[in-house]
Amino acid sequence: MNETIRQLTDDDLQALQDMDTGIDDDYVIRVFDRISTGNNRLFGLFQDGRLASIGGYTIFAGSYAMLGRMRSDVRFRGQSLSSRLMAHVRDAALDHPGIRFVGANTQEFNLPARRVLEKIGLSRQAELFSAIAKNVETFESGALPWRKIASAEEKMRWLELVYIRSGRVFPFECYYPFPASPDLFSGQALEQWDFYENPNGDRIVITKHDVKKYDYLHTLYPWDDLFEQPGLWETLHAPLENIRRDSEEGAFVWMDLTRKQVGTLSNGHPFELPSPWFLYGTDIQ
Protein backbone atom coordinates (compact mmCIF):
# COMPACT_ATOMS: atom_id res chain seq x y z
CA MET A 1 0.00 0.00 0.00
CA ASN A 2 1.38 3.41 -1.01
CA GLU A 3 1.09 6.05 1.75
CA THR A 4 1.98 9.73 1.35
CA ILE A 5 1.50 12.87 3.47
CA ARG A 6 1.45 16.33 1.93
CA GLN A 7 -0.04 19.78 2.30
CA LEU A 8 -3.51 20.13 0.79
CA THR A 9 -4.32 22.64 -1.95
CA ASP A 10 -7.48 23.85 -3.68
CA ASP A 11 -7.23 20.85 -5.98
CA ASP A 12 -7.88 18.52 -3.03
CA LEU A 13 -11.32 19.88 -2.12
CA GLN A 14 -13.14 17.12 -3.99
CA ALA A 15 -11.04 14.44 -2.24
CA LEU A 16 -11.96 16.05 1.08
CA GLN A 17 -15.65 16.03 0.17
CA ASP A 18 -15.39 12.34 -0.75
CA MET A 19 -14.19 11.39 2.74
CA ASP A 20 -16.65 9.61 5.02
CA THR A 21 -15.84 11.13 8.42
CA GLY A 22 -19.28 10.71 9.96
CA ILE A 23 -19.49 14.49 10.50
CA ASP A 24 -22.58 16.19 9.12
CA ASP A 25 -22.06 19.66 7.64
CA ASP A 26 -18.34 19.68 8.49
CA TYR A 27 -17.07 23.24 8.81
CA VAL A 28 -13.67 22.13 7.49
CA ILE A 29 -15.26 21.67 4.05
CA ARG A 30 -17.18 24.97 4.23
CA VAL A 31 -14.12 27.04 5.10
CA PHE A 32 -11.48 24.92 3.37
CA ASP A 33 -10.01 27.85 1.45
CA ARG A 34 -9.53 29.87 4.64
CA ILE A 35 -8.01 27.15 6.84
CA SER A 36 -5.51 26.07 4.19
CA THR A 37 -3.98 29.49 3.42
CA GLY A 38 -2.34 32.41 5.22
CA ASN A 39 -1.37 31.44 8.77
CA ASN A 40 -3.24 28.14 8.33
CA ARG A 41 -2.07 24.85 6.87
CA LEU A 42 -4.00 21.65 6.22
CA PHE A 43 -2.33 18.32 5.49
CA GLY A 44 -3.63 15.03 4.22
CA LEU A 45 -2.53 11.42 4.52
CA PHE A 46 -3.27 9.52 1.31
CA GLN A 47 -3.39 5.76 0.89
CA ASP A 48 -3.20 4.57 -2.71
CA GLY A 49 -4.26 8.06 -3.80
CA ARG A 50 -7.32 8.27 -1.52
CA LEU A 51 -7.47 10.90 1.20
CA ALA A 52 -7.74 8.95 4.44
CA SER A 53 -6.93 11.45 7.20
CA ILE A 54 -6.48 15.21 7.59
CA GLY A 55 -5.10 17.61 10.17
CA GLY A 56 -3.51 21.03 10.29
CA TYR A 57 -2.32 23.97 12.29
CA THR A 58 -2.70 27.73 12.68
CA ILE A 59 0.05 30.16 13.67
CA PHE A 60 -0.90 32.78 16.27
CA ALA A 61 1.14 35.87 17.16
CA GLY A 62 4.03 34.55 15.10
CA SER A 63 5.21 32.26 17.89
CA TYR A 64 2.41 29.81 18.72
CA ALA A 65 1.18 26.89 16.63
CA MET A 66 -2.18 25.30 17.42
CA LEU A 67 -2.80 21.87 15.93
CA GLY A 68 -6.26 20.63 15.08
CA ARG A 69 -8.91 19.75 12.49
CA MET A 70 -8.19 16.05 12.88
CA ARG A 71 -10.51 13.82 10.86
CA SER A 72 -10.19 10.34 9.41
CA ASP A 73 -12.28 8.46 6.91
CA VAL A 74 -14.18 5.76 8.84
CA ARG A 75 -13.16 3.23 6.17
CA PHE A 76 -9.49 3.70 7.15
CA ARG A 77 -9.75 3.88 10.93
CA GLY A 78 -7.85 1.56 13.23
CA GLN A 79 -4.54 2.10 11.47
CA SER A 80 -3.12 4.92 13.64
CA LEU A 81 -3.35 7.25 10.68
CA SER A 82 -4.06 10.35 12.78
CA SER A 83 -0.99 9.76 14.93
CA ARG A 84 1.32 9.48 11.91
CA LEU A 85 -0.27 12.46 10.21
CA MET A 86 -0.26 14.72 13.27
CA ALA A 87 3.40 13.90 13.99
CA HIS A 88 4.10 15.22 10.49
CA VAL A 89 1.92 18.30 11.13
CA ARG A 90 3.74 18.96 14.41
CA ASP A 91 7.10 18.82 12.65
CA ALA A 92 5.84 21.11 9.87
CA ALA A 93 4.75 23.66 12.47
CA LEU A 94 8.17 23.47 14.12
CA ASP A 95 9.77 24.45 10.80
CA HIS A 96 8.35 27.95 11.21
CA PRO A 97 11.05 30.31 12.52
CA GLY A 98 10.31 31.73 15.94
CA ILE A 99 7.85 29.07 17.07
CA ARG A 100 8.02 28.82 20.88
CA PHE A 101 4.96 26.67 21.60
CA VAL A 102 3.10 23.89 19.78
CA GLY A 103 -0.20 22.81 21.25
CA ALA A 104 -3.75 21.61 20.73
CA ASN A 105 -7.05 22.14 22.51
CA THR A 106 -9.57 19.32 22.82
CA GLN A 107 -12.45 18.44 25.09
CA GLU A 108 -12.16 16.00 27.98
CA PHE A 109 -14.51 13.45 26.41
CA ASN A 110 -12.55 13.31 23.12
CA LEU A 111 -10.38 10.37 24.13
CA PRO A 112 -9.19 9.52 20.59
CA ALA A 113 -7.85 13.05 20.06
CA ARG A 114 -6.22 13.07 23.49
CA ARG A 115 -4.47 9.78 22.75
CA VAL A 116 -3.13 11.16 19.46
CA LEU A 117 -1.78 14.29 21.14
CA GLU A 118 -0.07 12.27 23.84
CA LYS A 119 1.44 9.93 21.24
CA ILE A 120 3.05 12.85 19.42
CA GLY A 121 4.64 14.16 22.62
CA LEU A 122 2.24 16.83 23.84
CA SER A 123 1.34 16.93 27.52
CA ARG A 124 -1.72 18.34 29.26
CA GLN A 125 -1.05 21.86 30.49
CA ALA A 126 -4.37 23.43 31.45
CA GLU A 127 -8.09 22.83 31.83
CA LEU A 128 -10.75 25.44 31.07
CA PHE A 129 -14.54 25.40 30.89
CA SER A 130 -16.05 27.46 28.07
CA ALA A 131 -18.99 28.96 29.95
CA ILE A 132 -21.50 30.59 27.61
CA ALA A 133 -24.54 32.67 28.57
CA LYS A 134 -27.01 34.83 26.67
CA ASN A 135 -26.84 37.39 29.45
CA VAL A 136 -25.47 37.70 32.96
CA GLU A 137 -27.84 40.34 34.31
CA THR A 138 -28.93 37.98 37.06
CA PHE A 139 -25.52 38.52 38.71
CA GLU A 140 -25.79 42.33 38.76
CA SER A 141 -26.23 44.05 42.11
CA GLY A 142 -26.63 47.69 41.06
CA ALA A 143 -22.99 48.63 41.61
CA LEU A 144 -21.20 50.99 39.23
CA PRO A 145 -19.25 49.54 36.28
CA TRP A 146 -15.48 49.55 36.58
CA ARG A 147 -13.12 52.13 35.07
CA LYS A 148 -12.03 51.46 31.50
CA ILE A 149 -8.26 51.49 31.05
CA ALA A 150 -7.13 53.58 28.10
CA SER A 151 -3.35 53.29 27.89
CA ALA A 152 -1.40 50.38 26.43
CA GLU A 153 1.16 50.83 29.23
CA GLU A 154 -1.48 50.18 31.90
CA LYS A 155 -2.78 47.16 30.00
CA MET A 156 0.72 45.69 29.73
CA ARG A 157 1.36 46.32 33.42
CA TRP A 158 -1.68 44.22 34.29
CA LEU A 159 -0.77 41.48 31.80
CA GLU A 160 2.75 41.28 33.18
CA LEU A 161 1.48 41.15 36.75
CA VAL A 162 -1.35 38.66 36.31
CA TYR A 163 -0.40 36.47 33.34
CA ILE A 164 3.18 36.71 32.11
CA ARG A 165 5.10 36.43 35.39
CA SER A 166 3.11 33.40 36.47
CA GLY A 167 3.02 31.73 33.05
CA ARG A 168 -0.74 31.57 33.41
CA VAL A 169 -2.73 30.45 30.39
CA PHE A 170 -4.20 33.38 28.47
CA PRO A 171 -7.27 32.66 26.29
CA PHE A 172 -6.08 34.54 23.21
CA GLU A 173 -9.34 33.77 21.37
CA CYS A 174 -12.37 31.62 22.01
CA TYR A 175 -11.03 28.02 21.77
CA TYR A 176 -7.39 29.19 21.69
CA PRO A 177 -5.60 29.53 25.05
CA PHE A 178 -1.81 29.80 25.24
CA PRO A 179 0.79 30.10 27.99
CA ALA A 180 1.18 33.86 28.37
CA SER A 181 4.27 35.59 27.02
CA PRO A 182 5.00 39.08 25.63
CA ASP A 183 4.73 37.61 22.10
CA LEU A 184 0.95 37.36 22.50
CA PHE A 185 0.51 41.02 23.23
CA SER A 186 1.62 42.98 20.20
CA GLY A 187 0.28 46.49 19.81
CA GLN A 188 -2.41 45.46 17.35
CA ALA A 189 -3.60 42.58 19.53
CA LEU A 190 -3.62 44.76 22.63
CA GLU A 191 -5.95 47.24 20.94
CA GLN A 192 -8.58 44.52 20.47
CA TRP A 193 -8.99 43.92 24.22
CA ASP A 194 -10.73 46.26 26.63
CA PHE A 195 -9.50 46.34 30.23
CA TYR A 196 -11.60 47.47 33.17
CA GLU A 197 -10.15 48.09 36.64
CA ASN A 198 -12.11 47.90 39.89
CA PRO A 199 -12.24 50.87 42.32
CA ASN A 200 -9.63 49.32 44.63
CA GLY A 201 -7.18 48.94 41.74
CA ASP A 202 -6.55 45.27 42.54
CA ARG A 203 -8.74 43.51 39.96
CA ILE A 204 -9.31 43.72 36.22
CA VAL A 205 -11.71 42.13 33.79
CA ILE A 206 -10.70 41.87 30.12
CA THR A 207 -13.18 41.68 27.23
CA LYS A 208 -13.01 41.34 23.46
CA HIS A 209 -15.55 40.92 20.68
CA ASP A 210 -14.88 37.51 19.12
CA VAL A 211 -16.76 35.69 16.39
CA LYS A 212 -16.89 31.90 16.22
CA LYS A 213 -20.03 31.43 14.11
CA TYR A 214 -21.85 33.53 16.76
CA ASP A 215 -20.86 36.86 18.32
CA TYR A 216 -19.29 36.65 21.75
CA LEU A 217 -18.13 39.03 24.42
CA HIS A 218 -15.06 37.00 25.30
CA THR A 219 -14.44 37.73 28.97
CA LEU A 220 -11.36 36.98 31.06
CA TYR A 221 -11.37 37.22 34.84
CA PRO A 222 -8.47 35.28 36.41
CA TRP A 223 -9.54 35.31 40.07
CA ASP A 224 -11.91 33.04 41.99
CA ASP A 225 -14.01 35.82 43.58
CA LEU A 226 -16.44 36.14 40.67
CA PHE A 227 -19.32 37.11 42.96
CA GLU A 228 -17.45 39.13 45.56
CA GLN A 229 -16.43 42.09 43.42
CA PRO A 230 -19.14 44.80 43.16
CA GLY A 231 -19.52 46.08 39.62
CA LEU A 232 -17.85 43.15 37.86
CA TRP A 233 -20.99 41.92 36.13
CA GLU A 234 -22.32 45.45 35.54
CA THR A 235 -19.10 46.13 33.62
CA LEU A 236 -20.06 43.52 31.03
CA HIS A 237 -23.50 44.99 30.36
CA ALA A 238 -22.63 47.84 27.96
CA PRO A 239 -20.07 46.00 25.77
CA LEU A 240 -22.44 43.03 25.43
CA GLU A 241 -25.27 45.31 24.34
CA ASN A 242 -22.96 47.03 21.83
CA ILE A 243 -22.22 43.69 20.19
CA ARG A 244 -25.86 42.64 20.33
CA ARG A 245 -27.05 45.72 18.42
CA ASP A 246 -25.01 44.74 15.36
CA SER A 247 -25.46 40.96 15.56
CA GLU A 248 -28.00 39.10 13.46
CA GLU A 249 -27.66 35.89 15.49
CA GLY A 250 -27.56 37.54 18.91
CA ALA A 251 -24.60 37.92 21.25
CA PHE A 252 -23.36 35.81 24.14
CA VAL A 253 -20.93 36.09 27.01
CA TRP A 254 -18.08 33.56 26.77
CA MET A 255 -15.98 33.11 29.91
CA ASP A 256 -13.09 30.67 30.17
CA LEU A 257 -13.42 29.39 33.73
CA THR A 258 -11.24 27.15 35.85
CA ARG A 259 -12.79 24.22 37.70
CA LYS A 260 -12.53 26.21 40.93
CA GLN A 261 -14.39 29.14 39.38
CA VAL A 262 -17.10 26.80 38.09
CA GLY A 263 -17.50 25.57 41.66
CA THR A 264 -18.53 29.07 42.75
CA LEU A 265 -21.52 29.19 40.36
CA SER A 266 -24.86 29.00 42.12
CA ASN A 267 -27.72 26.69 41.24
CA GLY A 268 -29.75 28.09 38.37
CA HIS A 269 -26.83 30.05 36.89
CA PRO A 270 -27.31 31.08 33.23
CA PHE A 271 -24.17 29.45 31.80
CA GLU A 272 -23.99 26.46 29.50
CA LEU A 273 -21.07 24.34 30.69
CA PRO A 274 -19.94 21.74 28.16
CA SER A 275 -17.19 19.25 28.82
CA PRO A 276 -13.99 21.08 29.84
CA TRP A 277 -11.28 21.75 27.30
CA PHE A 278 -7.77 20.43 27.85
CA LEU A 279 -4.83 22.38 26.49
CA TYR A 280 -2.00 20.11 25.40
CA GLY A 281 1.38 21.47 24.42
CA THR A 282 5.12 21.55 24.56
CA ASP A 283 7.48 24.48 24.90
CA ILE A 284 10.12 24.84 22.20
CA GLN A 285 13.53 25.78 23.55
Please compute the mean of the pLDDT values over residues 127-141 and round it to a whole number.
Answer: 96
pLDDT at 188 over 90: no
Distances (CA, A) of 214 to 110, 132, 176, 224: 23, 11, 16, 27
Sign of the torsion formed by the C-alpha atoms of 225, 230, 231 and 237: positive
Q: Distances in Å between the alpha carbon of 207 and those of 148, 159, 196, 283?
A: 11, 13, 8, 27
Over residues 232-260, the mean pLDDT reads 95
pTM tops 0.75, yes or no: yes
pLDDT (tens digit per residue) in 13-72? 999 999 999 998 899 999 999 999 999 999 999 999 999 999 999 999 999 999 999 999
**What are the pLDDT digits (tens) for 142-173?**
999 999 999 999 999 999 999 999 989 999 99
Q: What is the pLDDT of residue 285?
A: 56
